[in-house]
Amino acid sequence: MDALQKFLQLPPPKKCVKILRMVIRNLLEDPENPKFRSVLVDKVRSKFERAHVSWDIVIELFAALGFSKEPGSDGRIEIIDFNLQAATTMLQLFEDLEKQQSVATNQEVADEEVLRAMHTWDLPPEIEAQLSSMISEVGTIWQARQDLIIDFFRPQNGPNIDNAIIKTALVTLLKNATDAQLKNWSSNKQFFLHNVPEYTLDFLLGEHEGRSGVQVLIETILASDLNVTCFQKVLYVNAQAGISDIDQITTCAAGRKVALVQLVDRLLEFFTTYYEKLGAKMLQEEK
């Protein structure tokens, strides 16, 4: 069976596996049928060689089944002594191989579909326009006040800021923001937070590889690959939940993008309002 090992290690093209499987199945089902006991070499050989499978390997497989190695005057190899055990073994291997190839093909199609969706999904134009405008405004504020914003949302952020008040305000802000988002997530709060963990106080006030949660959040929505990263995040979360439906994954990616941008908008509105009040208070004290 050395030839069989060589054939299986190629790996063999699906068309070649199918040909051999059909030859063997026909012989097993009707071994005395003259039609199944011979093979026209030129016709079969050309099919294997077009698929870049050496005929030397193929003829050894036929010989193992009990076929003659050399064709007769009619160009056919014929069964001399049918090897039932070899035929049964090969058929099982080829059927298993076809199943594996089918699974692999389906997986390749699924992977291609996921990859295509990851880079091409989009929200309706009017919503994309609104989000783009909001992201542009965030970029302007971030560029001008980045350090102030980072310090403002740190747990220990200086004498002029009441940490307890800010933390309490953030709890309320996150609750209201989460409630507003749940209409897009079938009111499943746990699933929403798995897909958008940024809507937790631990994330916003935590440190993430040297960056604050708010900094990570803002830089995420300002990145050019926001759509891709949103898709990648929800793809993983959905996979953990056993969900592979591409439409649902894309819907979750869209929901995550909307949620992130709207959360940043709320956070910066809170930041701006606080500093306006703080500035007015300081001016009043100076008078």
pLDDT by residue, tens only, the chain of 287 residues: 578 888 877 777 888 888 888 899 898 988 888 888 999 999 899 999 888 889 999 999 999 999 999 999 999 999 999 898 888 988 888 888 777 766 555 544 455 665 676 667 778 888 989 999 999 999 999 999 999 999 888 876 655 556 778 888 999 999 999 999 998 888 789 999 999 999 999 999 998 888 999 999 999 999 999 999 999 899 888 887 787 788 888 899 999 999 999 999 999 999 998 877 765 554 454 44
Q: Are residues 142 and 179 in the same domain?
A: yes
> Measuring CA to CA, how many Å separate 229 from each of 122, 174, 176, 187, 224?
13, 22, 25, 23, 10
Q: Are residues 177 and 243 in the same domain?
A: yes
Q: Give the end of a domain, one of 116, 149, 164.
A: 116
Burial of 225 (0-12, 13-18, 19+ CB in 10 A): exposed
**pLDDT at residue 202 in the model:** 92
Q: Are residues 91 and 185 in the same domain?
A: no
Counted domains in the chain: 2
Q: Are residues 163 and 207 in the same domain?
A: yes
**pLDDT at residue 114 in the model:** 58
**pLDDT at residue 77 in the model:** 93
**pLDDT at residue 179 in the model:** 94
Cα–Cα distance between 123 and 126 in angstroms, integer? Answer: 8
Q: Are residues 143 and 111 in the same domain?
A: no
**pLDDT at residue 103 in the model:** 58
Q: Give the end of a domain, one of 97, 116, 135.
A: 116
Q: Are residues 86 and 156 in the same domain?
A: no
> Measuring CA to CA, how many Å separate 271 from each of 45, 145, 151, 277, 279?
76, 10, 11, 10, 12
Q: Give the end of a domain, one of 50, 83, 116.
A: 116
Q: Are residues 100 and 62 in the same domain?
A: yes
**pLDDT at residue 110 in the model:** 52
Q: Are residues 90 and 167 in the same domain?
A: no
Looking at the chain, list the stretches that DSSP marks H as alpha helix, in order from N- to C-terminal side: 2-8, 14-29, 41-50, 55-65, 84-120, 125-152, 163-181, 189-195, 201-205, 213-222, 226-240, 246-286
**pLDDT at residue 193 in the model:** 94
Q: Are residues 193 and 275 in the same domain?
A: yes
**pLDDT at residue 162 in the model:** 67
67-72-75-77 Cα dihedral, nearest 10 degrees? 0
Burial of 205 (0-12, 13-18, 19+ CB in 10 A): middle
**pLDDT at residue 248 in the model:** 86
Q: Are residues 94 and 154 in the same domain?
A: no
Q: Supply the CATH number for residue 72's domain.
A: 1.20.58.2190
Q: Are residues 150 and 166 in the same domain?
A: yes
**pLDDT at residue 253 in the model:** 92
Report yes or no: 139 and 265 within 8 Å, Cβ to Cβ. Answer: no
Contacts with 87 (C-beta within 8 Å, 6 or more apart), sequence order: 24, 27, 28, 65, 66
Q: Are residues 152 and 259 in the same domain?
A: yes
**pLDDT at residue 286 in the model:** 45
Q: DSSP assignment, residue 34?
A: G
Q: Give the range of the structural domain holding residue 7, as residue numbers without chain letter.
A: 2-116
- Find the angle CA(83)-CA(85)-CA(87) to the nearest 5 degrees: 70
